């Protein structure tokens, strides 16, 4: 039963061809803006609708963990739907280089008609961010 269930789940969770192409196209278009060399860390800060499920982790905590676990890393890739997170991390952490993709971030979970396309972009970009994060050293 378990092997069958794992195959069904694998089949259901595979990305559709058009979505996979869209992710790789955006990655190719945007990756040239990043200057990431090993070693680098990746930080994902989910503040938007996540606050309904759990309290927000203070931003200094992310950097404390980085400094404790990998003091040698000074380049950080930021993934977030909250624009202010990027600015706050940059402002309060001199000595670190922060990299991120530039796109219209949408904080929240319920798309309105006028923001539907932006939510689709945010969803797609979350996977592009994930591809970069998977290459990180921390």
CB 41, CB 138: distance < 8 Å:
yes
What is the enclosing helix (H) or strand (E) of 98?
strand 97-99
| pLDDT at residue 35, as a whole number | 81
| pLDDT at residue 117, as a whole number | 47
| pLDDT at residue 99, as a whole number | 92
- Pair of tokens at residue 114: 């006028």
* Regions of the chain with pLDDT less than 70: 1, 12-13, 32, 49-51, 107-120
Within 10 Å of residue 55's Cβ, how many Cβ atoms?
A: 7
| pLDDT at residue 113, as a whole number | 47
The whole model's pTM is what?
0.76
| pLDDT at residue 112, as a whole number | 47
């Amino acid at each position: 039963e378990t092997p069958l269930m794992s195959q069904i789940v694998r089949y259901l969770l595979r990305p559709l061809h058009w979505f996979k192409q869209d992710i790789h196209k955006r990655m190719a278009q945007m990756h040239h803006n990043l200057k990431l060399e090993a070693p680098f860390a990746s930080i994902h800060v989910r503040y938007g609708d996540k606050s309904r499920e759990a309290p927000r982790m203070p931003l200094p905590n992310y950097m404390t963990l980085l400094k404790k676990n990998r003091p040698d890393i000074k380049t950080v890739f930021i993934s977030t739907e909250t624009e202010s997170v990027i600015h706050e991390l940059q402002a309060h952490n001199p000595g670190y280089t922060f990299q991120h993709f530039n796109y219209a971030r949408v904080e929240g979970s319920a798309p309105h008609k006028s923001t539907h396309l932006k939510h689709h972009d945010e969803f797609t970009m979350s996977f592009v961010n994930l591809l970069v994060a998977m290459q990180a050293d921390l």
